[in-house]
Amino acid sequence: MTQQIFTVHDLRKTYGHGQNAFEALKGVSFTIDRGESIAILGKSGSGKSTLMHVLALLDAPTSGKLSLDGVDTTSLRGKNLNAVRNKTFGFVFQQFFLTPNATVLENVTLPLKIAGVSASERRRRGMEALRQLELDDKAKNKAVNLSGGQKQRVVIARALVNNPSIIFADEPTGNLDSATGAVVEDILFDLNAQNGITLIVVTHDEELAARCDRQLRIRDGLLVDETLEVAA
Ligand SMILES: Nc1ncnc2c1ncn2[C@@H]1O[C@H](COP(=O)(O)OP(=O)(O)O)[C@@H](O)[C@H]1O
Ligand SMILES: [Mg+2]
């Protein structure tokens, strides 16, 4: 185990080709330590989601170096890539991505099903994650019948079911009212503080960003150096 969970050097991401090419990341470099909470902060279109998708191995960078736990991720392909992603990361997205007519428990245990975990073990770990989010009484309900806040807690339970070392949250409170959003935020920061899960939150919410240990500010595909900002 290395102290640095991510080492990122001169990372670039270009969408499209030729005349339609758009460079969404123009060379970003930073490190993230195990157990940190990090906000990726910036205006809409600045490249936040692109950076998160590259870090989470959902999208390959066009160039640059990305190491996860000391391993160069550019060498990972196919099955190995999926296995690392499934084992290491939990995802909490704004749009929930729940299957509406499946039960809460089925939604939560989907990553385990993908990983080939047996039905009884899926049930055991799914119920444990639901208990952690105080949703075990909703296990048999259809996801479609839940409130927004309950849905986001189901998403967090699903993110936890694989025991991830890193949780990625993209605008996790974007679809929630402020009271419900605050509850979801507290849950994420508790997981960071108590379980040592590295938390990487994409947000344009300055207050949420301020709760994180560190802020990576991005503008037009580049990190803004805050020390320069202050000096300017
Ligand atoms: N698949 C894509 N194809 C082309 N351009 C894209 C694609 N995804 C994002 N972009 C562009 O890249 C820039 C950064 O997008 P994104 O990372 O989603 O920003 P943010 O999350 O900060 O709003 C935007 O200008 C966006 O239009
Ligand atoms: Mg985005």
192-216 tens-digit pLDDT = 999 999 999 999 899 999 999 999 9
pLDDT-derived band at 106 (thresholds 50, 70, 90) equals very high
Residues 74-105 pLDDT 10s:
888 888 898 899 889 999 987 778 999 999 99
pLDDT for 231 equals: 53
Q: Which of 11, 25, 46, 217 should be mutated for ligand 1, with most atoms under 8 A from CB? A: 46
Is any atom of ligand 1 closer than 6 Å to the C-beta of 50?
A: yes
Is any atom of ligand 1 closer than 6 Å to the C-beta of 194?
A: no
Ligand 1 nearest atom to the CA of residue 20, by list position: 4
Q: How far is the CA of 58 from the centre of ligand 2 (A)?
A: 14
Is any atom of ligand 1 closer than 6 Å to the C-beta of 45?
A: yes
Lowest average pLDDT, out of 11-15, 71-75, 98-102, 122-126, goes to 71-75
pTM as predicted: 0.91
Q: Domains in the chain, please, with CATH?
A: 4-228 (3.40.50.300)
Computed over every residue of the chain, the mean pLDDT equals 92
Q: How far is the CA of 48 from the centre of ligand 2 (A)?
A: 6
pLDDT for 225 equals: 77
pLDDT for 1 equals: 62
SS (H, E, C) the chain: CCCEEEEEEEEEEEECCHHHCEEEEEEEEEEEECCCEEEEECCCCCCHHHHHHHHCCCCCCCEEEEEECCEEHHHCCHHHHHHHHHHHEEEEECCCCCCCCCEHHHHHHHHHHHCCCCHHHHHHHHHHHHHHCCCHHHCCCEHHHCCHHHHHHHHHHHHHCCCCCEEEEECCCCCCCHHHHHHHHHHHHHHHHHHCCEEEEEECCHHHHHCCCEEEEEECCEECCHHHHHHC
pLDDT for 227 equals: 57
Residues 142-191 pLDDT 10s:
999 999 999 999 999 999 999 999 999 999 888 888 888 898 899 999 99
Q: Of residues 228 and 175, which shows the higher confidence score?
A: 175
Residues with CB under 5 A from ligand 2 (ion): 49
Ligand 1 atom 4, closest CA: 15
Helices 148-160 and 104-114: angle between axes, nearest 10 degrees: 30
Ligand 1 atom 1, closest CA: 15
Is any atom of ligand 1 closer than 6 Å to the C-beta of 15?
A: yes
Is any atom of ligand 1 closer than 6 Å to the C-beta of 48?
A: yes
Q: How far is the CA of 223 from the centre of ligand 1 (A)?
A: 16
Ligand 1 atom 20, closest CA: 45
Q: How far is the CA of 66 from the centre of ligand 1 (A)?
A: 20
Ligand 1 nearest atom to the CA of residue 51, by list position: 17
Q: What is the mean pLDDT of the segment spanning 35-39?
A: 97
